[in-house]
Structure 1
């Protein structure tokens, strides 16, 4: 287990090994009975501490064996135990129990035996026992600290896993609830609108058929109703398929886009609204969201002109720019800046579509009279 990731842990372990090597070298030089062999053993033990975090089972036997050489030969006291203590801590933190305990027992037992063999009196023997008892406490503390650190790290990892699992669960619940809500809306639309629009379409078709059968001229408004009801059924089926998430967006006919702009404008003309279309720039394939939003904006704007502008004409402009698509619908109706119309659900829906794509929408009366709707849609899609 590693608490400090990457090179930082390696650098810290290297600094630790260098500091231990320097301190123990000074201890060796200050010990009269120490020699070159002791200095070499100390340096090897200190160097092994570079591995105490990554490979504690390598550092543990090396440091224990080398420091035993120094401790048994020179008998420097507690300082000889420090590299072994670090290795015992690292092994315990890695989840090992038996090997750190054996290393501690071997080191303490060998040090105790060497100290007692060199003792010349009861006082020295007592000092040896006291020093060994002190080292025993240090070794127990190192083992306990390593075990506590291991459990703490395991707890932190489990907490992170639980948090991640809880987040995934929340997302899954949100997706499931959203899916259930989409299905509920799809059922409501199917049970209500589908029936009503079907009745309108059938009745308009019957009226057109009877008029033609009698040799009468079919009113343009009746043909517009028949065509609009057919388009409404097609778009409703597309919406239901999207809500049900069938994986076949829009079905065979596909969702409405600017490729159907001509039909949309022609249908507006059939209701008595003079409308013209101007397209500038190079036509090209648009992102699906932009294409759909552009069509809906023109559709809603023309609907508003028909409903609220009175005897007005509409001009639709589509500009294919390099970075954005500009959709503008102007009318020369009665709207003025002194008495602007009250925004309705249609304008709110336009603004939501444009905002979702990261674009800008202008919808206000014109200075010369009438109303303008201008949407600037980034071709990169949603931001």
Structure 2
């Protein structure tokens, strides 16, 4: 494309931008995408390559800053802080802190307000939150693992990675264990993982409000709720963060004690902190590779949030089959809350997540067609699909036999 054509493309995109309402949150994703399109049209190709090469130093620098407590200090300050002030408050080396903050500023994580002087941004304030800091540390380990990807693919004739027990993770760590088994004795990793899982997956409103969970469960009163079975079973629900969000969105009196079930592995259930414990929940240690206990069969809704993207199809089918066996035809639903990859135009975050899942678990982020194919293998059909602009979605499914009743 000629320079003139690039300028014309950028100019046309800018004109489109001027027609969008920046005060309307619904248009923000489109505005950001068009801004990126303008940059893409005007940026020198060499600059794109250099920026990509430079990005390999960004993440480890952010981890180092997080470990020093820099983001917390900036967030707590009501004004910019100098390198000297940050060194004094953290015990770190001033010259090192300034060098690390330069790359954070160039990446938009902090703001550089003057010589060796920096201020917090919305992004750095998020990294000051323990759950996001945990994700930063986890991703650092993933980056180390991903560095082995080219060598591994060269040895496997560049085949797609689809195995939980025979993939890049096993090659890198020289083990025959899967990721979860290998990490089980790593307390720091497990703590970070469980903490990071408390981070909401979608922007804006909570997912129960975004996807009208109340309307789906009660169908405007058209569905008679069975009081003798659970209302919601949150499978692999972690610390209960999502079941709590759902509970807050349900009408008062719409459930009784014993109808909201939180399931996860025993060590997760046992580690739920007191400030996250909810007396309305029934806490059940459960391995989703085994059958649902009899007491928790026939629920109105089973939820799997950010679970199946950790598993390749073979293992995902095992998980889904046990849930399918627990569904009551014509009554029970399965909600899969996960990313839905668009056929074109996946953003950086989603593409990064897909490669991360491949590297760690031999798994993947799925398109709607892939979700439908996976569900079909266990006799389930998609009832509805909703997705946010950042590709987080709710896939509602039921037994195929339900449509015959």
| Larger gyration radius, structure 1 or structure 2 | 1
TM-score when normalising by structure 2:
0.21
